[in-house]
Amino acid sequence: MMLRDRTAVAGVGWTEYAKNSGVSTLTLALRAIGSALDDAGIRHSDVDGVACHRVGDSVQAVLVAQALGIKDLRYHLDMFGGGGTSHQVVAHAAMAVATGMAETVVCWRAVNARSEFRMGGTGRAAPDALEFQYQLPYGYATPPQQYAMLARAWMHARDAKPEDLGRVAIAQREHARLSPRAMMRTPLDMDAYLASRWIAEPLRLYDCCLETDAAVAVVVTSAERARDLAQPPVLIAGAATGGGHTLFSNGRADATVSAAAELAPRLYAAAGIGPREVDVAQLYDAFTFLVPLQLEDYGLVERGETGGFYADGHASLGGLLPVNTHGGHLSEGYVHGLNHVAEAVTQLRGAAGARQVAGAEVALTTGQPGYVGGTCSALILRRDGDPVHSSGQATAPMGNEGNGA
């Protein structure tokens, strides 16, 4: 059964992005969900499905359902996993709606990732990955350490310089300055980037995502129903999930190409487009190097040309393919992937204000591309009423020649 355009995101909602929310993750979840339902013009009593992802750091989905007053819970997903599963949650909600399991599903991520469960902390139980027992004796325990080795490998393979990562951080900070939600709106230049302290070489302070207390929610329902609601519907044109690297266990030989490279052709085929039809991209950015890596792996820019793509301003507002128009995890806030979906929806509604991409019709939004956690996921969303542009055959990346040149 084809999923293409059968479901839509009808509402989006956020809490404040903060360093200390002062409330529980249940309260955060309910505030974001309430905001999303108000945005869609849907009553709490209309919700019959709930879906979230978490890594032992947030409230159970069934407790959220109880707090919402859902008496007949027709669909329930409580997925264990990090950013690689973030878009899979929305895809599963869309499948539930498309197959009639539920009519209206709320998806959310709620974290007190700064004041409570710090993602890189060691003052908590060890993860249940088998290889962790071999890492810990060497003090190799946190995401920046893990991703630093991957970043070094990618930089070496692409002959990338520190400035190439710096341009990613700077471009996203400029976008964040246009968003009232963003945690970081102070201007950032290359001198400040290069002078920032090392976290784990080659990653500096501004290469690493923020730690954030916040929640984001989206409402998924049928495309037909969404057209009768309060906001312009944003259609879920395509969804795909894939595998990924763990650091030691699954024999992927080249760490400089992520599992997104295998996922991407299936994603474009599901949506019936190629990479040249993407107008705006929200790419998972726990660390700066993941952004140019995904530009390559999703076929948006030729391998080895992302440095020039950023240097020429193509990833900025007004460029060929604006990337992370909200500032991303690096400057807006880290809500573990779902804030990328919310920004894509906002752009396709034409409601992004000063950071709006003119004429945006198709958005690519991605979860973490499979490193460490071993799974990845992504969505293609499109503005309702706009035709799918192609037959789904992948077209060549744009490189530095322009979208559709």
What are 191-246's pLDDT values in tens digits? 999 999 999 999 999 999 999 999 999 999 999 999 999 999 999 999 999 999 87
pLDDT digits (tens, 9 = 90+) for 63-117: 999 999 999 999 999 999 999 999 999 999 999 999 999 999 999 999 998 888 7
Our CA dihedral for 366, 368, 371, 374, rounded to 10 degrees, sits at -80
User: What would the pLDDT profile of 382-398 be if each residue is shown by its tens digit?
Assistant: 999 855 544 444 455 76
Would you say residue 372 lies in a domain? yes
pLDDT, position 248: 60
- Phi, psi dihedrals of residue 136, rounded to the nearest 5°: -60, -40
What is the average pLDDT across 11-27? 97
Using CA atoms, how far apart are residues 276 and 299, in angstroms rounded to an integer? 9
The answer to whether residue 326 is domain-embedded is yes
User: Is the confidence at residue 250, as pLDDT, over 90?
Assistant: no
Q: The domain that contains 236 carries what CATH number?
A: 3.40.47.10
Residue 251 in domain: yes
375 part of a folded domain = yes
Number of domains in the chain: 1
Tell whether 144 is covered by a domain: no
| Active-site annotation holder among 75, 147, 284, 310 | 284
The model's pTM is: 0.94
What token pair was written down for 79?
Answer: 């997925």
**Do 145 and 198 touch, CB atoms closer than 8 A?**
no
Let me know if 284 is a catalytic residue.
yes
Q: Calculate the dihedral angle through the C-alpha atoms of 157, 161, 165, 167, rounding to the nearest 10 degrees.
A: -130
The answer as to whether 180 is a domain residue is no
Residue 148 counted as domain residue: no
310: annotated active-site residue:
no
Catalytic residue among 206, 298, 310, 334: 334
Of 157, 160, 159, 167, the residue nearest 315 (C-alpha): 167
The answer as to whether 80 is a domain residue is yes
Range of the domain at 261: 7-115+209-383
